[in-house]
Structure formats: structure tokens, C-alpha cells
Structure 1
Amino acid sequence: MMGAAQLPSEVWVHVFGFLSTADKLSIRSCCKYFKTMVDHWSLWKEYTVFLKKLCAYTAEFWTTLRLRKISSVIVQRAHLKEWKRLALSLPNLTTIAVEGCIDVKAFEILKQFQHLKRLSIRRCGYGHELADNIVHLQQVTHFSLCDMHCAPRTEIINAISKLSHLTSLFYHEGNCPIPRQTLHIMLNRLPHLKHLSLKMGTQHGSLPDDYFNLSKTIRGFQGERQDGQQTGLTSLELLDYMDPTLPEEALKCLPSLRSLSVAYRDRDMQPSRCHLKTWLRVLPQLADLNIAKGYLVSAYAHSIPDTVTSLTLRQVMMQPKDLKALGKRVPGLLHLHFDPCNYNGGSSVGEIPRHFPQLRTFKMRYYDVPDREFSNLVQLKYLERLEILDAKEPSVRLTDLVQKLQALTNYRTQIVHSQNHKDPLACHCAHY
């Protein structure tokens, strides 16, 4: 390894930045010099460590994590003693996801992480103790709660409402929506909230028209907005949704929304019941639209605002004419995640360049796409990144097609296979 040592360490760190985690760990085992380079903190900025059976980790393991400046962890089923070890070993954590906590006193340790900004708690059953302890985490800006079967809703929501610095909230709890007045009180107490994700559940009938309208809320709570002020939400996500849970006028009071995600419980529903088409007409600033399952695309395609630059369609039913309609509505689309269940079978990938000529990024599935249609992607003159979602281990045929496409585009397009980089705060509900 004498030749390797002749190159500046900055060069090796830059080169290793292009490697996968598995490749980096393989290189790390070659020699002490490469081990030092691979452990450079800049190579692990976005990395999340999954911690299970913390009692089995050695002092060297914790030292390595500190060298890499690991700031994000997922902790599964840890006991109080293990939590104390974590707080001692990695006191500067900024992101913690707690899964299946089996020791109620562990929640008390959370306040020892003074730099904690992002917290996710899922599949834990201690409602009272959780509420008592999260109120002390005033520095948290991103909070996610999912699948807390034993948690009293009123206590949990009251505790969340006291996290006044929250900018992002994922509340995926229970089988029915938060009652209107309870939601209003919570939103009024969270003046900095920008992103809200709700699991709607099995609501029967429709919620009030003013479900998101704070102007009619009974006031008098400390820290609330002044009269006349509306929520500043710019991003809304509705999971496990079915019409008519929210009425057609529900989003009329959210004109500042720039991102809307709707994950329906089922697909191929009656187009006449589609409220999404009405919602889209009152969102003049919408830039990001994410739809999973639900209605035929034709039910809402003509209502999509021309301000949309990023579009995700997953497990939706489409007819050939729908792609043309979408192209007319958003011809300047820059980012497309295209993973439909085609109504009549076959592939529509070959038509993408004609309808969306400005694309910069494109996510697609390779399965059932003819070679000729795949090669048509060369017509996307501005494409910077192509992600193939179903080819973690590409076949010889796909590898050959990718090489040809890269050559035809003069290697300006980065072609990658699904990276599966999951946000550590994302719960299973969000994997629709």
C-alpha cells in the first residue's frame, strides 16, 4: 500500500465518496491507511446507523461512530441500560428513531440528547410516560408518531402541541382522523409548522368543510396565532385516505400549499366521487404532487395546476390518453416518478420524451419495458438522472441497454439503480 499513501488523503476520500456502503466497508478492511480514510466523517454525513442489541457493541464500535460523526440512529427494543450507554457514547445525536421500546423509563433518557432535532417514535405502547417526557424536548423541529396502540390520544396531542418549534409533524396514530377542534388547537399552538402528515383511517362520512380552517377556532390558548391568521402549512400528506372523508372545500383555506401527497386506501374508485380534482383547482402555488392508488388518472389529470414541476404517480390506473392529458397540463415538468398500473397493460415509457421534454430526473420500472422504448429516453435532452426502481441487481440485458443509453447521451445522464435511501423518520405508513 506504499503507492496508495503517496496520494493525498483528500483524493482518496473524494474517490471513496462514490462507493456504496458495502464497498466502503470492504475497502476499509484492506489496511489501516484505508481504514482511516474510509472513516472520514465527510463520507458518512447522511448515514443512519441501525442499532439492535446495544449491549453487544464494543468500545471500538462506539469510537468508530464518533470518528464518523454519526448523528442519526434507529434504536430497536433497547433497555434503559442500553439507552444510557447510547447517551454516553453518542451525546451529539440530532436524529433518533425509536422502534418497539420495551422499557418505559427509556423515554426519560431522550432529554439528555441536547442536540436532538428529529425524533420518531413507532410501535411503542407507553402513552402517559411518553407524553410526560416529550414535552421537555423543546428543541425538536421534526416529530413522527406511529402505531402507538396504548397511547391516550388527548394526552399525546396535548404534549405535541407544546413542541412549539416543530416545523414537521407526522401523526399516524389511530383508525380515525383527529377531531376538528383538537386539530385546530394543536395547529394554533405550532406556529412554525410547515409539513403535516396525517393518517386518515376509516372515517365514515365527511369531516367539516373548515377542517383545516383555523379562523373559526375557539381561542384563548397561550402561544396561539392572532385572529385572522391561517396555518402556514406548505406541505400536506394524507395517508390511508378515502373520499368523502374530507369535503371538496377542505383545502380551500390552504392556498400556500406547495406540496400535496395523497395515498388512497384502494384503487379504481368511482371518478364521480373524486374530491382531488376540486382540491387541485384551489392550490395556485402547488409544485409537488404525489398520488398513490386511488382513481383513474383521467379523474383529476385536467385539474393539475401548471405550476407543478414534480409529479409522482404510484400504483395508479392509467389509460393511454391520460399521459397526453398530463403532458398538456404540465409540459414544463422537471421531475417525474412514474410507476403506474397500466389500465390496458403494456408500457408508456416510450411516450415520456414527447409529453415531458423538460425532464431533469425520471424514476421508472424497467420490467415489461421494450428495448426500443427504453432507448427512446435518449430524446430527453435535459435528463440528468435516471433511476431504475426494480433493478438492484441489473441483468446483462439491462446493463447493455444502460451502457448504450449513456453512450448516446454522451454520459451526461447519471443512471442508477434503486438506492432505497429511507428517511430514518419515515414509518411504514409512508411506504405506500
Structure 2
Amino acid sequence: MAFRTVGAAQLPSEVWVHVFGYLSTTDKLNIRSCCKYFKKMVDHWSLWKGNTVVLKKLCAYTSQFWTTLRRRKISSVVVQKASLKEWKQLALSLPWLTTIAVENCFDVKAFEILKQFHNLKRLAIRRCRCGQGLSDAIVPLQQVTHFSVCEMHCAPRSDIVSAVSKLSHLTSLLYHEGNHPIPRQIFHLMLNRLPHLKHLSLKMGTQHGSLPDDYFNIYKTNGFPDDPQVGQPGLTSLELLDYMDPTLPEEALKCLPSLQSLAVDYRDRDVDPSRCHLKTWLRELPQLAVLNIAKGHPVSAYAHSIPNTVTSLTLQRVMVEQKDMKALGKQASGLLYLHFDPCSYNSSSSIGEIPKLFPQLMTLKMRHYNVSEKEFLSLQQLKHLEQLEILDAHSPSPHLLQLIHKLQVLTNHRTQIIHSLGPRDPTTCYCTHY
């Protein structure tokens, strides 16, 4: 070990830091245990940018643990069930945190500690159980720009909506709370106080009948024209989770022409194309660039309505046929990103057609199951393909590894081929599938 350490020290530390930057978190932790020299190098702050630490039992962590996190300049944490004393310890140890996800918090007083994190920009509250008082605790957090709330048991909806409304600088809101959509009037009052909001994610829940046509049109219901806190949000990104037609009417998105990204995660598959409102929504979105669809109607119900401005398309657990793929190719031939994961498809009429239909693709996500060698190797025709992710090959067989090698040779190794999913961001909401 001493010999290896002396040899390692002959190289500049900047070189080692650069090399370690290519390692996974697990590999970096293994290297860190080799010797004190590598331990110091691996803890360099530049190697931990964007890293999130999950804190499960704060009282068990030593002073050395907190020193290590400070050395790495950790700015994102998930806090699971911490006491008030532990929250104070966190604020004392890492006061510069910019992202905090709170889980299983049962005392609203814990949220009052958040005001000590003056750099906090992203806050997620999920699976918490607390009563009234959340709104007052949130008031000091005016610097927060990204807020997520999910499964807030026992907290009154009025208190949650009031808390959200106090964060007037929000640019992103994930409201995944309750079993029913927010009533129109309350929803409008909340949005009116979020003039900077760009991304909105809603869990629709069960709804008997349709919401009003102007559900997203707050211009008609601005009851406080003299209130300086009131604004008119120009949403560019909308996500609807647990959705089923006809919860929103066909004209629902007509007042959102600025949308550049739309994601709809349907509750179930629906084989009745006559109830598909998505085809009408898409015709009203001239700037749409990103479209993500999960479950719901067959692709045939809306394929011809997809704007030619779409460059990123995700299709998950949907019914798609060969004619639908051809329609998609005509409507969105300029696709750069395709996540293709239907519930069933004929590989010879879909994967093999992708290079012809979407010649500009730079990123492709797909399953290998039932795809022949000929179809798989035909992906070499995608001259701009930079990354191929195989969704069902976490433990690739020797045959698949051989196919991957063949494809890499045919593409002169210009395409990065991934066959294992990367770690999920622990700060993201569990409801979000994209």
C-alpha cells in the first residue's frame, strides 16, 4: 500500500481528480478506502457536484461524517424522519443547502427550521403527516423556486394551497396531493399568486364529469387586479398524472399556447379513441417540443395531431401499430429524442423502421426483447445517434453483449450504448415516471 501511495503521489492531484470524475459513486467510495492520499482526492468537491445524500438517522452520524459532507460541499439532501434536534444539527452542519426533500415528518415545527437555510431553492415535502401551521412555516422561504408536495396526510387542503401561494417566486410546482383536482376557483387564486411559474405538475385523481373549459385560464378570474402579488403565469411545461378523459375538456389547453412540454400519464389504457381529448389539445400547441405519453389511448387516436415542432417523444405502455409509426414519422420526422416502450409491438414493423422514420435521432431508448439481430443492427443507419439505452438489459446476456459490440464496430464507436439504468434522483417525486 505504501508503494502504491508513493507512486500515486508522483502524479499531480488535478490528474487524479480528473480520472476519478469518470467513476461511479460506488467506485469512488471503493477507491477512497485504499489510502489516505486517495481519500483526500476522492473527497474533492468537484467530484460530488449534483450528488444527493439520503439522511436516514441523523443522530447516528459522527462529526467526521459531517466534516466529509462539508468537504464535498454537498448541497442536496433527503431527510427521512428527523427530530427537531436533528434538524437543528443539519442546519448547523450544512447551512448552505440548496435542495432539501423532507420525508415522514410528523411535526410542523420542523419546517420552521428551514428558514435557517438561506440558499434553499428546491424544497420537496412528501409522505408527511402534520396538521395546521404549514402555511405559516413556509412564509419565510421566499427564495424557493422549485416546490413539490405529495401525500401530505392530515394537513387541510386549504393550508397546503395557502402555503404554495406564499411562495411567489416559484418557477416549478409539483402538486400531487389529494384524490380530486383542485377546485377551479381555488386553483386560479393559487396560480394568480405565482407569476413566475413555468412548470406545473398536477395529480388529477378521480373526477366525475369534466372540469370547466377555462380551468387553466386564470385571466377571466383575476379578482385582484390591484394586488401587486397577482400575475399571469406563462406556463411552458405541463404534466398531468393519474389522468383519465374526460376530466379536462377538449378546449382545456387552448389558453396555453406557450406550452413547450406536455406530459400525460393516464391512469389506465383506454381503447375508445372517441374519448381522446389529447388529439385536440395537440392542435392548440404551436410551440410544443417535448411530448411524453404513458398508457391511455392507442397512438392511432392522436398520431396525426402531433405538431411537427416536437423533437422529443416518449411513448410508454401504449398500443402502437405499424401505420401509427408511419404517421409519427410524417408528423415528427425531426425527432432528436425517442423513448419507445410500448405495451406490445411487432419488432419488425417498428424498431426496424426507426432509422427511416426518424433519421435525425440523437438519443434512443428501447427494449431489446423480441428484436431480431437484423433490426438491432439496422440502428447503425442513424448517423447522428449519440446514445442508445436498452431498457430491459440490466444483466445483458452474452448474445446481447455480442450484438452491442457489433453495433459499436459498425458505428465506429460513435454511439454510447447503455444497458443499465442510472440511479434515480432521490429528490424527485415518486409519482413522476418520466
Q: Deviations over 1:146-202 (max 9, x none)?
A: 011211111211121111110000000001111111111111110000000000000
In the other structure, the counterpart of 2:82 is 78
Is the aligned partner of 1:153 residue 2:157? yes
In the other structure, the counterpart of 2:319 is 317
In the other structure, the counterpart of 1:406 is 408
Contact 2:133-2:159 at 8 Å conserved across structures: no
In the other structure, the counterpart of 1:183 is 187
Q: Deviations over 1:346-368 (max 9, x none)?
A: 77322211111100111112233
Counterpart amino acid of residue 354 in structure 2: I
In the other structure, the counterpart of 2:208 is 204
In the other structure, the counterpart of 2:336 is 334
Contact 1:335-1:362 at 8 Å conserved across structures: yes
Contact 2:360-2:384 at 8 Å conserved across structures: yes
In the other structure, the counterpart of 1:126 is 130
Is the aligned partner of 1:10 residue 2:10? no
Contact 1:40-1:68 at 8 Å conserved across structures: yes
Greater Cα shift, 343-352 or 213-222: 343-352
Greater Cα shift, 214-223 or 256-265: 214-223
Q: CA deviation at 1:223?
A: 3.0
In the other structure, the counterpart of 2:363 is 361
Q: Deviations over 1:60-97 (max 9, x none)?
A: 11111111111001111111111111111111110000
Contact 2:108-2:137 at 8 Å conserved across structures: no
For structure 2, which runs of at least 5 residues remain unmatched after alignment?
none
In the other structure, the counterpart of 1:250 is 252
Is the aligned partner of 1:64 residue 2:68? yes
Contact 1:76-1:100 at 8 Å conserved across structures: yes
Q: CA deviation at 1:25?
A: 0.9
Contact 1:366-1:391 at 8 Å conserved across structures: yes
Structure 2 residue corresponding to 1:25, chosen from 7, 17, 29: 29
* Matches for 1:248-327 after TM superposition, within 5 Å: 248-327=250-329
In the other structure, the counterpart of 1:38 is 42
Counterpart amino acid of residue 414 in structure 2: R
Counterpart amino acid of residue 113 in structure 2: I
Q: CA deviation at 1:116?
A: 0.4
Contact 2:202-2:240 at 8 Å conserved across structures: yes
For the residues of structure 1 that align with 2:29 and 2:290, how far apart are their CA atoms?
36
Q: CA deviation at 1:20?
A: 1.1
Contact 2:224-2:230 at 8 Å conserved across structures: no
For the residues of structure 2 that align with 1:195 and 1:103, how far apart are their CA atoms?
29
Structure 2 residue corresponding to 1:166, chosen from 167, 170, 173: 170
For the residues of structure 2 that align with 1:217 and 1:62, how far apart are their CA atoms?
50
Greater Cα shift, 160-169 or 339-348: 339-348
Counterpart amino acid of residue 69 in structure 2: L
Percent of aligned pairs with the same residue?
74
For the residues of structure 2 that align with 1:416 and 1:35, how far apart are their CA atoms?
29
Structure 2 residue corresponding to 1:194, chosen from 192, 198, 201: 198
Contact 1:135-1:160 at 8 Å conserved across structures: no
In the other structure, the counterpart of 2:53 is 49
SS in 1 for 2:133: helix
Contact 2:308-2:332 at 8 Å conserved across structures: yes
Residues 267/343 of structure 1: CA separation in 2 closer, same or farther (3 Å cut): farther
Q: Deviations over 1:213-232 (max 9, x none)?
A: 11211422733446xxx431
Contact 1:52-1:77 at 8 Å conserved across structures: yes
Contact 2:106-2:130 at 8 Å conserved across structures: no
For the residues of structure 1 that align with 2:426 and 2:233, how far apart are their CA atoms?
27
Counterpart amino acid of residue 66 in structure 1: R
For the residues of structure 2 that align with 1:233 and 1:422, how far apart are their CA atoms?
26
For structure 1, which runs of at least 5 residues remain unmatched after alignment?
none
Q: CA deviation at 1:345?
A: 7.6
Counterpart amino acid of residue 213 in structure 2: D
* Matches for 1:215-226 after TM superposition, within 5 Å: 215-220=219-224, 222-225=227-230
Greater Cα shift, 189-198 or 420-429: 420-429
Structure 2 residue corresponding to 1:238, chosen from 218, 222, 240: 240
Q: CA deviation at 1:3?
A: 2.2
SS in 2 for 1:128: coil
Q: CA deviation at 1:102?
A: 3.0
Counterpart amino acid of residue 58 in structure 2: L
Is the aligned partner of 1:114 residue 2:121? no
For the residues of structure 1 that align with 2:202 and 2:40, how far apart are their CA atoms?
44
TM (norm. structure 1) is: 0.96
Q: CA deviation at 1:340?
A: 0.7
Superposition RMSD on alpha carbons, in Å? 1.6
Contact 1:73-1:96 at 8 Å conserved across structures: yes
Q: CA deviation at 1:118?
A: 0.1
Q: CA deviation at 1:409?
A: 0.9
Counterpart amino acid of residue 300 in structure 1: Y
SS in 1 for 2:196: coil
For the residues of structure 1 that align with 2:414 and 2:345, how far apart are their CA atoms?
34
TM (norm. structure 2) is: 0.95
For the residues of structure 2 that align with 1:233 and 1:250, how far apart are their CA atoms?
14
For the residues of structure 2 that align with 1:214 and 1:107, how far apart are their CA atoms?
30
Contact 1:347-1:368 at 8 Å conserved across structures: no
Residues 155/104 of structure 1: CA separation in 2 closer, same or farther (3 Å cut): closer
For the residues of structure 1 that align with 2:42 and 2:202, how far apart are their CA atoms?
40
Contact 1:78-1:102 at 8 Å conserved across structures: no
Counterpart amino acid of residue 282 in structure 2: L
For the residues of structure 2 that align with 1:12 and 1:99, how far apart are their CA atoms?
37
Q: CA deviation at 1:413?
A: 0.9
